[in-house]
Structure formats: structure tokens, C-alpha cells
């Protein structure tokens, strides 16, 4: 979190709240800088001293020690989320190696299941709920993709003679054939 970072504005044009500025700066900071602030926030220093240092070094004015405590709690949770993300990536790589015949969806399903179980075992029900929501979102996306593929296949069968004619046209390039079939299936294609 360097001294030259300017506060970011919001969509409304108003300056971002100091706590939001600090969180945003945290996300963009290198790990060495994060380590420094972790050390400060876990030290025996008074919160008011740390707030003064944040104001001096980062140009972010937190209005109270309570705001800094809120940030510290968020930082701890963020570190846990980041660690879980790393574990999920490791799980993903491991599962792909162990199960080369699995689809990407099967791997993701198992990664999310493992993450959910870890969060419950650790008593982190908030993370478990977030994992569950992500799992549900991915299931919805998979169902929507499946429905789209089914509908597209059904539409392709209806226009099969046209597709065969386009496919056999020797004057067309492969990319032109793809565009022509796509246009037959889905209508006008935006450029």
C-alpha cells in the first residue's frame, strides 16, 4: 500500500468511504506490504497510533478505532478466503491428475464439495454458505448451458438440409460456412 495511491471515486462521483479505500488498496498491494500491516494490526500498538500511520503513509483517514477493528476483522477473513482459494486451486490440479476422464464440471463439483466440507469442519459457516451459493450458481449455469445446447441441437436438426448445403459449398471458406450456419440457427449475427 504505497503513499502515491489516490482515493478512487465511485460511480456516483463521490469519493469512496475510507474503509472501502483501505480494502481496495489492500487487494491491490503486494504480499510484503500486506505482511507489514498484518504485523502492525496484530502488535500491541494502540489502534489510534496505527490509524495515524495509515493516514500518514496511505492518506486514508479512518474516523475511529472501531473502523480499524472492522478492517482488521475483514483482513483476517480475507486471508482465510485467499487461503481457501489456494486450496481449491490445489484440489483442482490434483483432481485433474487423478481423474483424467472427468469433465471440467465433475472436477469443479468435487472442488466445491471439498471446500464446503472444509468450511463446515472449521466451523466457518459463512464460508460454507458462500461455497454453497457458488455451487448452486454453477449448477444453474450448467443447466442453462445444457438447455442451450439441447435447443441449438434441436434447431440444427430442423434446418439440416440447409446446413448440409452450406457444408458442401466449395466456394465458401470454413469460417464463412460457420457464420452462415450460425446465421441460419440464430438469425442476424452482430458484427
All residue ranges of the chain with pLDDT < 70 are 1-15, 127-132, 134-136, 138-139, 189-191
* 3-class state of residue 9 by DSSP: strand
pTM over 0.85: no
Distance, CA of 145 to CA of 139 (rounded, Å): 10
8 A C-beta contact, residue 41 and residue 72:
yes
Q: How far apart are CA 61 and CA 36, in angstroms?
A: 19
Residues ≥6 apart with Cβ < 8 Å to 72: 41
For 22, other C-beta atoms within 10 Å of its C-beta total 23
Helix axes 47-58, 31-42, angle to 10 degrees: 150
Task: Give the count of beta carbons closer than 10 Å to the beta carbon of residue 21.
Answer: 20
Q: Tell me what pLDDT residue 69 has.
A: 93
3-state helix, strand, coil in the chain (%, to 5): 75, 0, 25
Q: Exposed, middle or buried by CB within 10 Å (0-12, 13-18, 19+), for 137?
A: exposed
pLDDT of residue 137: 73
| Per-domain residue ranges of the chain | 1-82, 159-186
Amino acid at each position: 500500500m504505497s503513499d502515491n495511491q489516490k482515493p478512487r471515486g465511485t460511480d456516483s462521483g463521490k469519493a469512496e468511504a475510507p474503509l472501502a479505500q483501505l480494502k481496495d488498496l489492500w487487494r491491490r498491494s503486494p504480499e510484503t506490504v500486506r505482511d507489514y500491516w498484518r504485523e502492525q494490526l496484530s502488535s500491541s500498538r494502540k489502534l489510534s497510533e496505527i490509524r495515524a500511520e495509515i493516514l500518514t503513509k496511505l492518506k486514508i483517514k479512518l474516523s475511529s478505532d472501531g473502523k480499524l477493528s472492522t478492517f482488521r476483522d475483514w483482513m483476517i477473513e480475507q486471508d482465510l478466503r485467499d487461503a481457501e482459494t489456494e486450496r481449491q486451486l490445489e484440489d483442482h490440479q490434483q483432481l485433474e491428475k487423478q481423474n483424467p476422464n472427468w469433465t471440467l464440471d465433475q472436477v469443479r463439483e468435487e472442488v466445491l464439495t471439498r471446500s464446503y466440507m472444509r468450511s463446515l469442519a472449521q466451523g466457518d459457516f459463512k464460508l460454507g454458505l458462500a461455497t454453497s451459493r457458488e455451487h448452486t450458481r454453477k449448477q444453474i449455469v450448467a443447466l442453462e448451458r445444457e438447455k442451450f445446447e439441447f435447443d441449438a441441437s434441436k434447431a440444427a436438426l430442423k434446418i439440416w438440409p440447409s446446413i448440409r448445403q452450406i457444408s458442401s459449398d466449395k466456394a465458401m471458406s470454413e469460417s464463412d460456412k460457420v457464420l452462415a450456419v450460425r446465421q441460419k440457427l440464430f438469425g442476424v449475427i452482430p458484427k
